[in-house]
Every structure is written in structure tokens, then in C-alpha cells.
Structure 1
Amino acid sequence: MEQPNKPYGFPAREILIPALKVGALSGATGLLYGGVAGVLRSAHPILFTVAAGIQWSALGSTFWATRATILYTYYPNPSQNDRRTASTLAGGVTGGTIGGLFRGPRNVIPGTIMFTLFGYLGQKMYDALDARHSEQVASDALAAAEGKTRARRRFWETIAGMKWSPLTALSDEDYGNMLKEKLLRVEAEIALVDEEVERLRGEERRMKERPGKEPPKPTT
């Protein structure tokens, strides 16, 4: 299967800038966590806080850049399963790389396993929340449309209920009865036309039985 044409070159700007933003956000979260944990657990809380911020920032930016690169390279039009796969792979790459870089070679395999699970579960949780949010937005839009319809109907019913108004409010039953009356009038007119046609045909047959006389012309 041929893939859609991609932009020329690697979109470094579209990948790196969002990755840096995610890294800054996760780094700020790491600083908050490190500040609390450093006071409780470390003899050097400031160093612990800075280290936690750097580590969390590296995790966030690496994960997002890896995920975006996988999506751009292999899934130009990603589905939900494609995004889940990309997040899972990016989590494994990030966990192994950052774990080995900050905590030594022994943490490569545990970091890969743990962050693979984190990437998969995180994407799955995000998809579930996004689907629920989409359903809520659609439900709110439908409720708003129905509310506007009811408000418009109440407005016209109020106008029709005024004495000076030329409008008349009709219920569904009244409207149905009005349509039935119109249908009966149309059927009566059709019956009269059929009777006229039969009368003319009878006259024509009688005139044909009397030679020398032309059949009467239909009256308009």
C-alpha cells in the first residue's frame, strides 16, 4: 500500500518544540515531587529536587519526541490503535534510555518494561477519557439544539396565543385533522371530475349511435 506524500525532510520543528514543552511541564512536576520527597527522604533536598526535575524533564521530552517520530515515520494517518502502539514503543525506548543514563545499566531492562506498561496504559486511559469527553460534547450539543427548538416553539406559541395575532397555534392532532379535511376535499373534487368524464363518455357513445351528429364538446 502506498503511503500519502509526506512533507520534504524531517519535521524537526513540529516534533522538537512540542517535546520541549512536554519536557518543561514534566520537569516542573518533577521539581514539585522532588521538593516534597527531598525534604522527607534526602539529606540534600535541593540536589534531590534538581535531579528529579532534570530526570522528569528528560523522560517527558524523550517520550514525546520518540512517540511523534514513530507516528510520523510509520503512521502518517494514525488510528487509535496506531497511537497506542506508538505510545507503548516510545515508553519502552524512553524507560530504557533514561533509566540507563541516570541510574546505570542495571536499570535499562526494568525501565524498559515499566515504561512500556506506562505508555500503553497511559494512552489507553487517555483514549477512554477522550471518548467520554466526545460523547459528553455531542450530548451537550444535542441538548442545546433541543432546548433552542423548544424555546423557539414556546415563542411562537406565545405569539399565536395573543388576541391580536393573525397566527393560530395548532397541536399535532389539530394539524392532522386539518390535513384529513384537505384530503377529503381533494378526493371529493376528484370524484366530481370522474363523474363529469363518465357523463361525457356516455354522451359520446350516444352520439356515435346517431349518425350525422357530432358529439358535444366538453364544457370548460
Structure 2
Amino acid sequence: MSPAAPSSGQQPPNPTGDEMPTRDELFEIGAKSLQTGALTGVMGAAFGAGSGIMRAAPPGLFALVAGIQWFALGSSFMASRSLLWHAWGGEEYLTSADKVKAGAAAGGVSGMIGGMARGPRNILPGILFFSTLAGGATYMSQKLQSTVPKEKKSIMASKWSPMRQISDQEYEKILVDKMLRIDAELAILSDNIAALKRQSSPSSSASPEAGGSKPASETGKAAPPSSDTQQPEKARPRWFSWGGGSS
């Protein structure tokens, strides 16, 4: 089996598959395989203990045997798949079909190891079963990863909705327009207030001391009679005279 050519145009670091993994790469593959084997071993031990309890058998022995078998299956699968990925150029250069092929091949290796632990007659069934299981699981995983979730449309995006969703730029423009309208109204109010103040101020009317006309309330009032004005003497009789003289 050979992987498909990478679609990005970049050449993989190991296009021929002849280059062996470096020491660091082997250490990374081994660590990842041991982690996977430990996880599957714990799951197998729990499954074996439950199976032993149901069969009225020693649960500890069943848990130990199942844990070892599941550890071998998990670690061998991860090691085989990682080595195939490296031989085919690396995970980033593999297509979905290449990953499915590598998963099926690694599952076949795990099935072979598990069959050898159970007996020679279980090797071929183990290869077929685990190869199909690993290939199918890898295919489903790739399909789920490639599925793009559909964008959820808001109810305001409908043409029947009385409201619509606006962008940040549109909302900012609306706020600027409102601020300009408020500034214009404030300027008009300031001009009106200044005009009213000018109309109500008494500076336009002249004061009486400056020679202006007297107020209408004082117009028409007669001046009080002066006390120094001499009243005319009453006419004396003609026959009356001072000092004996005849008038």
C-alpha cells in the first residue's frame, strides 16, 4: 500500500518510506503506544473483573488476563499506525483514505497479536475482526471531522421578521447621526435662550434723568402749588382810606 500524493503540492519529508524514524521519533511513538496500552489495559481489567464475577470465577485472575490482552491490543495498534504514518510521509501529508488504510492495517496487526495470545486458530479471525473494526472506526472518525456544522440562522434573518440584525458599522453610524442631531438641537435652544434674554433686558428704554420721557403713570399729574406764591389782595371799599385820606 502506498499513500496518495499530497494535494498541497508540498513534498513529504519521507516520500519513499525508506527513512527510518529517528531516536526521538521512536521515543515519542513508544511513549504514545504505552499510554494507549495503559488506558486500554485498565478498561480490559475492569471488563475482565466484571466477567469473572458473572461467571463465579476469580475476578482478580480474569482482570489480570484481560488487562494484559487489552494492553497488547492497544499498544500494538498505536505503534503500528504511527510507524505506517511515518513511512507514508507523516500525518499532515495523509488523506482520509490513507488514514483509513493505516488504521485497518494497524488493526490487523493488533488482531494477529491478540490471536497469537489465544491460540493459533484465533490468528486469522482476530486479524479480520480487528482490521474491520479499526478501519470502520477510523472512517467514521474522518467523516465526523470533515463534517462542517451548518450555520444557525437567527429568526431576525427571516424576511417576515419586523426586525433585522445590523452590523457594528451600521450601529456606529446610527449613534453618530443621533449625536449630531442632539448637538444641532442644543445649538438651536442656546440661540433661543439668548434671544429671550435680550428681549427681556430693560437697557433699551431711556431713564428720566437722561432726558427721556416720563413714565405714563406720572403724565397728567398737576404740580403741587408753591407755598411762596402770593394770593391777590381782596378789593377794599372805595370809601376806606389809610391815614384819613379819601380814596
Q: Deviations over 1:117-163 (max 9, x none)?
A: 0111110111122123xx13x848x99xx9xx845256425513454
1:42·1:48 contact (CA, 8 Å) conserved in 2?
Answer: no
Q: How many residues align?
A: 157
Structure 1 alignment gaps of length 5 or more: 167-220
* Counterpart AA for 1:125: M
Q: TM-score, normalised by structure 1?
A: 0.61
Query: Is residue 29–residue 53 contact of structure 1 (8 Å, CA) maintained in 2?
Result: yes
Report matched runs for 1:98-109 at 5 Å: 98-100=114-116, 102-109=117-124
1:40-97 deviations in whole A, cap 9, x for unaligned?
1251111111211121111111001001101111343211111111001111111012
Cα distance in 1 for residues equivalent to 2:49 and 2:127: 26
- In structure 2, which of residues 34, 38, 41 is the aligned counterpart of residue 27 of structure 1? 41
Q: Hey, what's the Cα distance between the residues in 2 that align with 1:129 and 1:49?
A: 34
Question: Which protein has the larger Cα radius of gyration, Structure 1 or Structure 2?
Answer: 2
Greater relative contact order: 1 or 2 (C-alpha under 8 angstroms, separation 6 or more)?
2
Is 2:105–2:131's contact at 8 Å kept on the other side of the alignment?
yes
Q: Which residue of 1 aligns with 2:141?
A: 126
State the 1:110 CA deviation: 0.6
Q: Output aligned runs, 1:63-212, within 5 Å.
A: 63-76=77-90, 77-100=93-116, 102-132=117-147, 135-136=148-149, 139=151, 150=166, 152-153=168-169, 155-156=171-172, 159=175, 160-162=177-179, 163-164=181-182
**Same amino acid, percent of matched pairs:** 31
Q: 1:17 aligns with which of 31, 52, 64?
A: 31
Q: How far apart, CA to CA, are the structure 1 residues paired with 2:96 and 2:174?
A: 49
- In proportion to residue count, which structure has more helix? 1
C-alpha distance 3-34 of structure 1, shift in aligned 2 (>3 A): same
The CA deviation at 1:12 is: 0.4
| CA RMSD across the alignment | 3.1
Runs (4+) off by over 3 Å? 1-10, 160-163
